[in-house]
């Protein structure tokens, strides 16, 4: 992610959510130790629950989906592993219901059952109105604002790189007020459309002369 504001927002939400404690109750009695709490507290060998759930919530925020695979070890212990959403494809049956996941890593592909009793994979998805199988990421709703923010940053950086020196000037003694401002905006807008941000420089506009000079 190139946008520092969006990156910080995702990190803050994921970090806060991953630090929420998991509690298990049977009626009004809280159980501090239980077989269901073990994989949540330590999903993998050498990995605690906070470190596991932070990227899980990050996947939900960025892609709208999170995929968890359960591994049953010979020792009887259960481990949880995250699957990267961009590598996962959903396979449906003849009726359109999710049947399996295909996880691709390089040239290798694995088919994982989904939705059946005893399935070892779980899909978490956010609500999406126009798709039955893939969630809608909150970050996607902010893409236009992110594009504007990134474009403004690229433009400002290009000005500093060049280094914001004036290379074109207008001279027109008779143009004042609204007519002069309109001509200035039109010229700058046309240059922004035709010049890449990396070559952009700040134009200067002078009212009190009689010719145009530039390159």
pTM greater than 0.85:
no
E strands, 77-139, where? 78-83, 88-92, 98-105, 108-113, 121-125
Per-residue pLDDT tens digits for 81-130: 999 999 999 999 888 888 999 999 989 999 998 866 667 899 999 999 99
Rounded to an integer, the average pLDDT of 3-26 is 94
Domain boundaries, the chain: 4-141, 162-214
Taking only Cα atoms into account, the Rg of the chain, rounded to an integer number of angstroms, comes to 28
Residue 168's CB: how many other CB atoms inside 10 A? Answer: 16
E strands, 75-201, where? 78-83, 88-92, 98-105, 108-113, 121-125, 168-169
CA dist., res. 201 & res. 215, Å (int): 12
β-bridge mates for residue 104, sequence order: 109
Which distant-in-sequence residues (6+ apart) come within 8 Å of 47 by Cβ?
none
């Amino acid at each position: 992610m190139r946008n520092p504001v969006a990156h910080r927002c995702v990190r803050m939400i994921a970090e806060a959510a991953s630090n929420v404690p998991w509690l298990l109750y049977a009626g009004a009695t809280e159980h501090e130790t239980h077989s269901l709490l073990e994989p949540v507290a330590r999903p993998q060998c050498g990995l605690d629950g906070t470190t596991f759930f932070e990227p899980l919530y990050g996947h939900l925020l960025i892609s709208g989906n999170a995929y968890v695979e359960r591994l049953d070890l010979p020792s009887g212990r259960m481990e949880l592993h995250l699957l990267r959403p961009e590598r996962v494809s959903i396979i449906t049956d003849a009726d359109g219901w999710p049947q399996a996941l295909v996880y691709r890593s390089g040239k290798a592909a694995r088919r994982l059952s989904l939705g059946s009793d005893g399935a070892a994979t779980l899909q978490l998805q956010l609500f999406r109105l126009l798709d039955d199988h893939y969630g809608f990421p909150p970050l996607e709703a902010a893409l236009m604002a992110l594009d504007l923010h990134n474009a403004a940053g690229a433009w400002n950086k290009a000005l500093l790189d060049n280094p914001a020196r004036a290379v074109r000037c207008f001279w027109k003694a008779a143009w004042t007020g609204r007519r002069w401002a309109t001509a200035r905006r039109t010229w700058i807008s046309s240059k922004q459309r035709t010049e890449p941000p990396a070559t952009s420089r700040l134009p200067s506009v002078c009212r009190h002369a009689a010719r145009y000079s530039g390159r």
